[in-house]
Amino acid sequence: MKARIVADLSELPTSGPRGSGPTWWGNLAFMLIEGMGFALGIGVYLYLATVAPDWPPAPPPELAAGTGVALVLLLSLIPNALLARWAKAQDLRRIRLGLLVMLGISVLPLALRVLEFQAFHVRWDESAYGSIVWVLLGLHTTHLLADLVETAVLAALMFTRHADNPRRYGDVEDEVAYWVFIVATWLPVYACLYWAPRL
């Protein structure tokens, strides 16, 4: 079968502001897919809660670590919004500062997450409750780790000669959007794991 070219898109930009490059669309598709993973995990948790005679089988988790993660993530939206503004203005000096700040901030929820796993007093292989708690926490931790690496690489790039490439500003905007996704996915997981058992 002979292929027929409908349109030549080679002149389209490979990057740019929101929605104009394939990286932005790829990032959006990734967040939609991963968001569905969180929704499925929460659905499993709620299903198990309805069929189990005693839910949770362990005492409800201690609130300190999980609430700490939620507060850090919510407060991080302020420097993240500033970073978005600086990326749009292509202010390299401030972008460098913003990426370093976000790099430091992204370590905090990971440190609290170590305490958080202990706050549930359940192992992953102990029960269905332990398994789904560890899956939800593990899924979110994976995203935190991925963002830490992404922010570190992007920050390093912004201190090299590659920083003058206009594509990098679009990359920073994608990173900002991904951090918002991480915060947005934690809030329903936090409500489900910490507050639903107390209702």
pLDDT in tens, 111-163: 999 999 989 888 998 889 999 999 999 999 999 999 999 999 999 999 998 88
Q: Which DSSP letter does residue 122 get?
A: -
167 found inside a domain? yes
Phi, psi torsion values for 182, nearest 5 degrees? -60, -45
The whole-angstrom distance between residue 96's C-alpha and the CA centroid of its chain comes to: 21
Whether this model's pTM surpasses 0.85: yes
17 found inside a domain? no
Residue 58's domain comprises 22-198
17 close to 166: Cβ distance less than 8 angstroms: no
Phi, psi torsion values for 44, nearest 5 degrees? -65, -45
Supply the pLDDT for residue 114: 92
Give residue 185's identity as a one-letter amino acid code: T
Supply the pLDDT for residue 168: 87
- With tokens 């991904």, the residue in question is 178
60 found inside a domain? yes
Helix spans in the chain (H): 22-51, 63-89, 92-119, 128-158, 166-190
Tell me: cis bond preceding 56? Omega within 30 of 0 counts: yes
* Number of domains the chain is built from: 1
Supply the pLDDT for residue 5: 78
190 found inside a domain? yes
15 found inside a domain? no
2 found inside a domain? no
Report the CATH number at residue 59.
1.20.120.80
Q: Which DSSP letter does residue 162 get?
A: G
Q: Whole-number mean pLDDT of the chain?
A: 90
43 found inside a domain? yes
Share of the chain above pLDDT 90, in %: 67
pLDDT band per the 50, 70, 90 thresholds, residue 100? very high
109 found inside a domain? yes
CA dist 161 and 73 (Å) reads 31
Q: How many other CB atoms are found less than 10 A from the CB of residue 127?
A: 16
pLDDT band per the 50, 70, 90 thresholds, residue 20? low
What are the CA-CA distances from residue 166 to residues 11, 122, 163 (Å)? 16, 48, 8
49 close to 128: Cβ distance less than 8 angstroms: no
CA dist 1 and 3 (Å) reads 6
Asked whether residue 17 carries a pLDDT value surpassing 80, the answer given is: no
Phi, psi torsion values for 109, nearest 5 degrees? -65, -30
Per residue in 185-196, pLDDT (tens digit) is: 999 999 999 998
Which residues contact residue 196 at a Cβ distance below 8 angstroms, ignoring those fewer than 6 apart? 45, 46, 49
Asked whether residue 54 carries a pLDDT value surpassing 90, the answer given is: no
The more confident residue out of 176 and 9 is 176
Give the mean pLDDT of 4-20.
68
